[in-house]
Amino acid sequence: MTDKTILRALKGEVLPTPPIWMMRQAGRYLPEYRATRAKAGDFLSLCYNPELAAEVTLQPIRRYGFDAAILFADILLLPQALGPKLWFETGEGPRMETTTTMGQVNALKPTEAIHDTLSPIYETVRILAAELPKETTLIGFAGAPWTVATYMIAGKGSKDQAAAHLLKDTDRPTFQALIDRIAEATVEYLSMQISAGVEVVKLFDSWAGSLKGQDFRDFATAPTARIIAALKSRHPDIPIIAFPREAGQGYIGFGHQTGADCVAIDNSVSPEWAAANVQIDGCVQGNLAPEHMVTGGQALVAATQHVARAFRNGPHIFNLGHGITPEADPANVQLMIDTVRAG
Ligand code: CP3
């Protein structure tokens, strides 16, 4: 039996105080993160430097005592390991060589080759497994295939994922082959993270909300279910969190349909709705609006209490509905934690 609160919540236990961590908890809102990133040179150099990546993972744990640490890396490292070039444009975000034809999908590196690029990430995990406080859970992650595909197809982030929708609707064989390649590589990547010491894995499907109807079932639910089944067959005890962001009605039953132990909820749905429709099936994570980390004050306290109270009768991991932003005030994070822990 584990004492780690996150693992207990993931097994379905209802705790008097929900365990808490925050998406992007190691990030630019923290001065110590900005200092380490400057030392590394740039964001990707930081991701591939195990000592410094472990350092920034630990920073929010030292400062706040979160119940979980999330491996510092990025969902775009896996597609990069399959061959396409990746870089970050300052002030704009990721840029990637595009993959839009069957020839390009076939030219991606074989799955076994990803570890050549990703081995520093496994080293970061090993350092963290040794250095984290014993009560802190280490979470590994990857992007879900649809979200990773949207970046591989468009070569950058986009509001509506139009390029990926176009490929899906005009060249289904190429699109499906790409999804399958990403899913296969994701299983190997997460499996190596688990062998190196992560205790939970999370699949980020940040753009799941733009998939509707059958597309949601085919390209959000089905690939997630396949990845989870493959991971659970190799690592039966590993808990898995799925985050089909902005899925709306698609959140209902997502845990059962995919085999995920926990469904992470964004803040476009109310916590009462998520408690009634999603938490009835098991553990949920979420869903305070990240804007409160910028604005703070009594509104932050009230909204934090609202989320904690709405989910208090079932298994719950307190988190934001999406990542904390660079404009956030570190003092507001402390206020959120104090509010959750005061009950
Ligand atoms: O949560 C954590 O603290 C762990 C590390 C983590 C990062 N990215 C670090 C990061 C995780 C889990 C991610 C996931 C990720 N990356 C997602 C899915 C979650 C989500 O936010 O929807 C996506 C879509 C990406 C791709 C990505 N990485 C984008 C679009 C950007 C640019 C946007 C931005 O915030 O600048 C990144 C960069 C990135 N990833 C940063 C961090 C800390 C900022 C980079 C910097 O320091 O300059």
Residues 6+ away with beta carbon under 8 Å from 149: 164, 175, 178, 179, 182
Instruction: Tell me the three-class secondary structure of 136-179, residue by residue.
Output: CEEEEEEECHHHHHHHHHHCECCCCCHHHHHHHHHCHHHHHHHH
The secondary structure element, H or E, covering residue 85 is none
Q: Which atom of ligand 1 is nearest to the CA of 207?
A: 22
Structure tokens at 138: 């280490």
Report how far ligand 1's centroid is from the alpha carbon of 1 (Å).
33
Cα separation, 110 vs 236, whole angstroms: 26
Report how far ligand 1's centroid is from the alpha carbon of 74 (Å).
6
Q: What is the mean pLDDT of each run of 10 residues along the chain (343 residues)?
A: 90 97 98 98 97 98 98 98 96 96 98 98 98 98 98 96 98 98 98 98 98 98 98 98 98 98 98 98 98 98 98 98 98 98 92
**How many residues make up the chain in this entry?**
343
Cα separation, 4 vs 292, whole angstroms: 27
Q: Does residue 309 have an active-site annotation?
A: no
The verdict on the CB of residue 44 being under 6 Å from ligand 1 is no
Query: Domain 71-264 belongs to what topology?
Result: TIM Barrel (3.20.20)
From atom 9 of ligand 1, which residue's Cα is the shortest distance away?
74
- Alpha-helical regions (H) of the chain: 5-10, 31-40, 43-47, 50-64, 77-81, 102-106, 114-131, 145-154, 162-170, 172-196, 213-216, 222-234, 254-258, 271-277, 292-295, 297-310, 330-342
pLDDT of residue 1: 56
Domains of the chain, by residue range, sit at 1-24+274-343, 71-264
pLDDT of residue 156: 98
Residue 71 CA to its chain's centroid (Å): 10
Q: Does residue 37 have an active-site annotation?
A: yes
Sign of CA dihedral 263, 120, 236, 2: negative
Yes or no: say if 129 and 138 are a contact pair by the CB < 8 Å rule. yes
Cα separation, 61 vs 21, whole angstroms: 9
Residues 6+ away with beta carbon under 8 Å from 202: 70, 139, 140, 141, 240, 241, 242, 243, 264
Report how far ligand 1's centroid is from the alpha carbon of 72 (Å).
9
According to DSSP, residue 20 is labeled: B
Other beta carbons less than 10 A from residue 213's beta carbon: 8
From atom 40 of ligand 1, which residue's Cα is the shortest distance away?
74
Other beta carbons less than 10 A from residue 214's beta carbon: 8
Please report the DSSP string for 258-311 in residue order: HT-SEEE--TTS-HHHHHHHTGGGSEEEEEE-TTHHHH-HHHHHHHHHHHHHHT
- Residue that is written with structure tokens 């929708």 in the block: 165
According to DSSP, residue 325 is labeled: P
Structure tokens at 166: 């176009």
The verdict on the CB of residue 154 being under 6 Å from ligand 1 is no
Cα separation, 225 vs 115, whole angstroms: 23
Cα separation, 7 vs 25, whole angstroms: 19
Instruction: Give, for ligand 1, the residue of 21, 23, 24, 189 to mutate: max count of ligand atoms closer than 8 Å to Cβ.
Output: 24
